[in-house]
Structure 1
């Protein structure tokens, strides 16, 4: 295994052990152990995935789909445990974005990206 691969494996482990990931894991388990919350969350994720897939394929999203997605988001936002799960997911995503910025710094510097200087 190369030094970079070893570092990546260590970074993976650090993410798994991080407070942010542990909080996300607890929030996820809380949602998954409640049948109503689980069904609501899985429906939300399915709709989200379907709409993203349509966008990536360049397909139009209908007004009906937008309305349905808004209704589901409103329902999800009313559920305390799902809201917490989504907040914790945002925190983990923030950590991953920060890591990505650090990892990309050599390329940004090489190509002269002004944001990295």
Structure 2
């Protein structure tokens, strides 16, 4: 994706805005309508770019795999607490 300067630039902007909003959320601050709208517009632009779509699909696959691993790791602990 770094080879596509437009895609990479949009992705970096999105990450920065997302980080800023996470920081506000952690500080108990509300988002302005403009901040939400800006992030949504950036997300809409990103959906149309193939390298970003590819990255999102890979991230989703990784997230699903991590969820499965977490279940596998957690199940023996759950079984112990439930007396199985």
Q: Give TM class, smaller chain.
A: 0.7 to 0.9
Distance (whole Å) between structure 2 residues aligned to residue 49 and residue 101 of structure 1:
28
- Count of residues in correspondence between the two structures: 83
Unmatched 5+ residue regions in structure 2? none
Point out 4+ residue stretches in structure 1 off by more than 4 angstroms: none
More helix by share: 1
- TM-score (norm. length: structure 2): 0.87
CA-CA distance at 1:52 after TM superposition: 1.8
CA-CA distance at 1:95 after TM superposition: 0.4
Unmatched 5+ residue regions in structure 1? 1-30
> Where does residue 6 of structure 1 map in the other structure?
none
> Where does residue 72 of structure 1 map in the other structure?
42
- TM-score (norm. length: structure 1): 0.65
**Does residue 16 of structure 2 align to residue 46 of structure 1?**
yes
